[in-house]
Structure 1
Amino acid sequence: MARSSAKDKRKRRLGKRQFAPLRRAVRIPVWGDLGIRLSLALFLIFIVVMIHWWDREGLVDNLDGHVSFLDVVYFTMISITTTGFGDIAPISDQARLVEAIIVTPIRFAVFFIFVGTAYNFIIKRSWEKWRMARIQEKLTDHVVVLGFGVSGSEAVGELIERGTDPSCIVVMDMDQERLENAEALGCNVIEADATRDENLEAVHIDEAQAVLVSAGRDDASILIVLSVRHLAPNVPISVVVRAADNELIARQAGADNVINPVRFTGLLLAGSAEGAHIADYLGDLASVTGRVKLVEREVLKEEIGKPLSDLATKGRGLRIYRNGGACGFWEHEAECLQAGDIVVEILPSDDDKPDATREQREAEEAAAQAAG
């Protein structure tokens, strides 16, 4: 009841404001589509002009008896548009046959091109705008990406690689070119300032599955985290910060995960100094395109009471999170999994799994679905 009341209050607030609507990419740009249609129509009209000019001996001009090229163009236009003033008319059998067999189908084709253009630019696009407004109203369990720079775009690409439907991703940015790149991936986009509460409310931030923040500047990212946490107390927030002394501030602002690309790069460099393949393996773990992948999930019912080394998914258990603390696979707590534990494991990527029977694959899929 409280959640329903909160939704009603938000709808009343949003009803008083005007937001930049969500957009989704079209396959062909508006002017490109219009240009193709007009070019095709003009090409068909040109063909009819040439046919009439070639067969001008079969036409008669009731005014002066002479059919010039201008008369042919004029007759073609009134013929295509079915105006038919009667001042120029076909009189020979050949000219009438050409009108019936060739010109009439072209006339219908041009007619349908213009009707289709009117439908596409007036009716269809109005419908798409209305449909996207309805999608915006019903957004829920989606991923909101605030900032589509280098980190944000890489995150979206990785999400799509991992199987997230692009239509479930909403990108907010102020840069038109970045939004066009996000649209090209199939994401919903909105041109707005992520530091403003009303813009965050417009994408239903409190009903998002996760929020990824990468504003390009630490101060802007932390301000966005504060705004998001104020509006969505329970939504997981991940933020990118580049200064080590801002990591604690970002966590205090409400971020659940703070990613420092500079620190991660340093870890890779240090790892490469310890061994030639450590950095390569860390990159494998971080990307879905690698041979292995890290998975975080809740413990399954059939795993309760078992050790971390005996997971139903046949993965390599690395760590469990229990009561706010982390336990490694070598610690005593990892010998008996409990209800509510969060398991972090390594699994082979889908492309690198060994051949298995159909029953084994179905069991893995069922386990993954049960893990949420």
Structure 2
Amino acid sequence: MTLALNNVSFEVMPGETFVLMGLSGSGKSTLLRCINRLIDPTEGEVWIDGKNIVEMNREELREIRRRKLGMVFQNFALLPHRTVLDNVAFGLEIQGVPVEERRKKAEETLKLVGLGGYGESMPSELSGGMKQRVGLARALTSDPDILLMDEAFSALDPLIRRDMQDELLDLQQRLSKTIIFVTHDLDEALKLGDRIALMKDGAIVQIGTPEEILTNPENAYVEKFVADVDLTRVLSASDVMRHPEPVARCTAGPRVALHLMEEHDIGSVFVVDRDRRLKGLVTLEDTLKAVRAGKGLEEIINTEIPTVALDTPLTDIISVIAGSPYPVAVVDDENRLRGLVFRGAILAALARKGEDINATA
């Protein structure tokens, strides 16, 4: 016999996007289908909300599939003789939801995935990306706690695939579903996953966050798998930023800002309020003019400065910092200054991560 899954054990947290990744034949799709018992495991347990679904009878299993689980397939699996709206409402129809209620819910979900107004179209009239959105809408309409996505975007063209990945990230931010996502594409796994389980020959060889997988591979197989990854797509602002010092308070005078620039041998300084919310930046030249003219610091603050969020990928920061004479300010959701990114820090971080990866060989 062929051993499809071997000693696989993991836990997925509520609201987490957990990615099963591996080459073709590694067992990832088999594992996903064991979770909802499209494939019955010969041994082991699958616990969902304190219930082991392996021990459930057929009626109990149908109920948990209807209420708890939604699945998005690689080949869309739409019903060709039904309209888009009827496809999306199919799960509610199986649950016995009245026609008007299920059609209203289906229309709302279609708008959620960007297909408002396409309800009366037939699947044959849609592009591949639109069909996949219908499949996603169908899974979401039943409002399941858990979404199982089996290579959901692998059949799409690269540009459409990236759009669908962005769409899923946006939906996850709004809906906070628990998602188990299967892919063989490492870039896709790094983009979507909160954690990744890398599989080989039916076994999980490493589980970790995207950065843990990249920078601390547990064996030669993982190291080879991630060898060609572009680190600028994985590292974020929080990985390369430096402590934001010195900074000037906006209530301070220009002489204080001038003193900070002279003491630290810099040509500009960022300005924050008493709660460290970023107000802008002042330059050495403008500060000298303000001292001579008797102006206050707030009168010379430049507010047109580049800022990024803590989770902004390095690949986006590089394009921002290339066009700016100043460091890039890293701010949180409340616009508090959390760090500064310098050109040299980006190069140093990439070199350091490269050395860390090579050291594990």
TM-score by length of 1: 0.25
Higher helix share: 1
- Which one has a bigger Cα radius of gyration? 1
TM-score by length of 2: 0.26
Higher relative contact order (CA 8 A, sep 6+): 2
